[in-house]
Structure 1
Amino acid sequence: MENSIKWGRTRDFFAAQLRAAQMNIYSHFTEWFDDTGLSPKQFAVLYVISLNPEVNQRQLANVHSTERAAFGETLARLEEKGLIERKASKTDKRAKVASVTAKGEDVLKRILIGIDEQERAFTANLNDAERHMLLALLLKVNMPHRES
């Protein structure tokens, strides 16, 4: 008797395919990220700061849905690495604002190039139109569901 397993519709289950893709991509991505010297969370925070110079720390913590203490630790690590600088806000002396340093900009450029390369590798079996369509569909699926 041949050792064959019937899979039925399991290969058609959306959640199973999405989870398999996520696990495959995430494991490679986190291994790659280890070599950058930053965690994915630290990168995300650094990137958002680069797009919003002198952003208020409170605003950043709210965007990243993080407790202020934990978020403060992330900012402290970025500051220790010389990637950001924090100073008192010009408009609210009680608040601190964060900006990316020149070193931080260099690190960001290098990581963004690497992310582009990683994403190309993950989707190597897709053409450009399929790659754009996949991203558009994932963005649509990940939109918060609203009550009608």
Structure 2
Amino acid sequence: MDARSDSSVSLGRLGHDLGYLLRQAQIRVYERYFHQCAEFRVKPGEFSVLWAIGNNPGIRQSLLCQYLVIKRSHMTKLVRALEDQGYVERRIPDDDRRGVELSLTSEGQQAVDAMSQWFFAFEDSLGSGMSPAERDHFTALLHKFIETTTAD
């Protein structure tokens, strides 16, 4: 068996498959995020949850799970951790005792405001090798891909 160098690995069709390329892109973004934003100690998913709650006060936890595609058990743990940090408050609505409504506390809103500065600066830096038109087109294509891809 011949030893191959890293630069000579052939992926064949896999190197052109959307699922593979999307996963590789996600890995690259996360590597860059944790390298550049490690000091803030907030994972992208945690910020996304806080941002979504801040933009939708009183959102049902089940709807947030669905929309952000986060498993219910993981969301429950995440919300409890954010609640323990004083960022999120949960409320059980009178009309549905099984539901949970989420809102940011004033401390949570202050944290999101501060986090959003560096988080969106990081996001704006992604795709820096693309022109603004290419980045807009890529974003539009990703939206179209997400909207037309459903779980079987």
Query: Residue 121 of structure 1: CA displacement?
Result: 2.4
List per-residue Cα deviations over 1:21-65 (Å, max 9, x = no partner).
333222112344543232222222212211221122233334334
TM-score (norm. length: structure 2): 0.71
User: In structure 2, what is the equivalent of residue 13 of structure 1?
Assistant: 16
Q: How many positions carry a matched residue from both structures?
A: 143
Say if 1:19 and 1:62 are closer, same or farther in 2 by CA, change over 3 A: closer
User: In structure 2, what is the equivalent of residue 66 of structure 1?
Assistant: 71
Say if 1:81 and 1:14 are closer, same or farther in 2 by CA, change over 3 A: same
User: Do residues 48 (structure 1) and 52 (structure 2) align?
Assistant: yes
Query: Residue 20 of structure 1: CA displacement?
Result: 4.2
Say if 1:83 and 1:127 are closer, same or farther in 2 by CA, change over 3 A: same
Say if 1:13 and 1:62 are closer, same or farther in 2 by CA, change over 3 A: closer
Say if 1:145 and 1:95 are closer, same or farther in 2 by CA, change over 3 A: closer
User: Do residues 92 (structure 1) and 93 (structure 2) align?
Assistant: no
User: Which one of 133, 147, 152 corresponds to residue 143 of structure 1?
Assistant: 147
TM-score (norm. length: structure 1): 0.73
RMSD: 3.3
Contact 1:56–1:89 under 8 Å retained in 2: no
Q: Which has the larger radius of gyration?
A: 1
Which secondary structure state, in structure 2, belongs to the residue aligned with residue 35 of structure 1?
helix
Which secondary structure state, in structure 2, belongs to the residue aligned with residue 142 of structure 1?
helix
Contact 1:84–1:100 under 8 Å retained in 2: yes
Percent of aligned pairs sharing the same letter: 24
Query: Residue 13 of structure 1: CA displacement?
Result: 2.9
Quick one: distance in 2 between partners of 1:17 and 1:88?
41
Say if 1:56 and 1:142 are closer, same or farther in 2 by CA, change over 3 A: closer
Gaps of 5+ in 1: none
